[in-house]
Amino acid sequence: MSDAPDLAAIREAAGRIAAHVKRTPVFTSSMLDGRAGAQVFCKAENLQKVGAFKFRGAANAVFSLPDDAAARGVATHSSGNHGAAVALAARLRGIPAYVVMPHDAPAAKRAAVAHYGADIRACRPGLGSRERALDDLIAATGAQVIHPYNDHRVIAGQGTAALELLEECAGLDALLVPVGGGGLLSGTAIAGKGLVPGIRIIGVEPRQADDAWQSLTTGRRVIVDSPDTVADGLRASLGELTFAIIRRHVDEIVRVEEAAIVAAMRFVWERMKLVIEPSAAVPVAALLEGAAGVAGLRVGVILSGGNVDLQAALALMAT
């Protein structure tokens, strides 16, 4: 695995993907500010292409491949958003894409991956099953792996969201980011600390999928193979590369309960008029619950995605 990217790599990624990604807007809410006791600036990556920040990293990885390697196609494993992102980036470059997906992935996300033209290979849930299926796929196709998070090119691409947020909103004291495999948090931390050395970088994850919290607490990478959380995009465990970056640059990991995640999703839908998925609601839950300790600060939040089955989401919010 290559060394971790730096701020220069994130800026290079921003230039590489500028023609392909959207520069997403930043939203504010006086009600959210009041509930959080802070000034909050939400970067709406739910409005990004494929409906998630994941397109940034996938585009950077796919478009940085040499032509001879790209010709064999690209492959990954994903519960949905990264798979759709790789599929779209591959389609834009005109190369094949193969995506391993667990059979319990949300139907809306599976449909999106298929829509962008990927060859989908089903597997059992769990990180181990995903990785074994991906290994088999690579052996059969010779495609280039675009890992969902444990890849310096992907991390650099994800960091471009924070780069844009910090360019648009001066004087931020803290950044709150959901953490699953850690690609977004890693890229955000590198961009944040590189541009504003004193900024606080806070990762937020479901208590029922708290491998990042356990990893930072124990000082060793903890794998949670099949966590049970409504935030399906955060079920992955940290990779070796992302764990090393997070240990170095992230100030804190906080955890939120399932009910708080659902309540935060409902808050954003109803009060901010933005459709976000449960994973994107996780840092908002930390704000609404006071778990992040950011009262009185200027806080940036990355709303990571908006790919959600509407019927399932409405059923969740009705309970």
Could you please report the per-residue DSSP string of the chain?
-PPPP-HHHHHHHHHHHTTTS----EE--HHHHHHHTSEEEEEEGGGSGGGBTHHHHHHHHHHTS-HHHHTT-EEEE-SSHHHHHHHHHHHHHT--EEEEEETTS-HHHHHHHHHTT-EEEEE-SSHHHHHHHHHHHHHHH-PEE--SSS-HHHHHHHHHHHHHHHHHSTT--EEEEE-SSSHHHHHHHHHHHHH-TT-EEEEEEEGGG-HHHHHHHHTS----SS---S-GGG-SPPPHHHHHHHHHH--EEEEE-HHHHHHHHHHIIIII-----HHHHHHHHHHHHT-S--TTSEEEEEE-B----HHHHHHHHH-
- Band (164; pLDDT cuts 50, 70, 90): very high
- Band (316; pLDDT cuts 50, 70, 90): confident
Do 100 and 134 form a contact (C-beta atoms < 8 A)?
A: yes
Which of 313, 307, 210, 202 lies closest to 256 in space, CA to CA? 210
Residues of the chain with CATH 3.40.50.1100: 7-53+151-318, 55-145
The whole-angstrom separation of Cα 306 and Cα 193 is 27
- Per-residue pLDDT, 1: 42
Fold for domain 55-145?
A: Rossmann fold (3.40.50)
Average pLDDT over every residue of 272-286: 97
Share of the chain above pLDDT 70, in %: 99
Residue appearing with tokens 């780069």: 163
Select the CATH number that applies to the domain covering 7-53+151-318 from these four: 3.40.50.300, 3.20.190.10, 3.40.50.1100, 3.30.70.260. Answer: 3.40.50.1100
pTM: 0.94
- Per-residue pLDDT, 298: 98
Which of 96, 16, 22 lies closest to 60 in space, CA to CA? 16
Q: Is 103 exposed, middle or buried (0-12, 13-18, 19+ CB in 10 A)?
A: exposed
Point out the least confidently predicted range of 74-83, 186-195, 248-257: 74-83
- Per-residue pLDDT, 225: 78
198 Rama class: left (phi>0) / alpha (psi -120 to 50) / beta: alpha
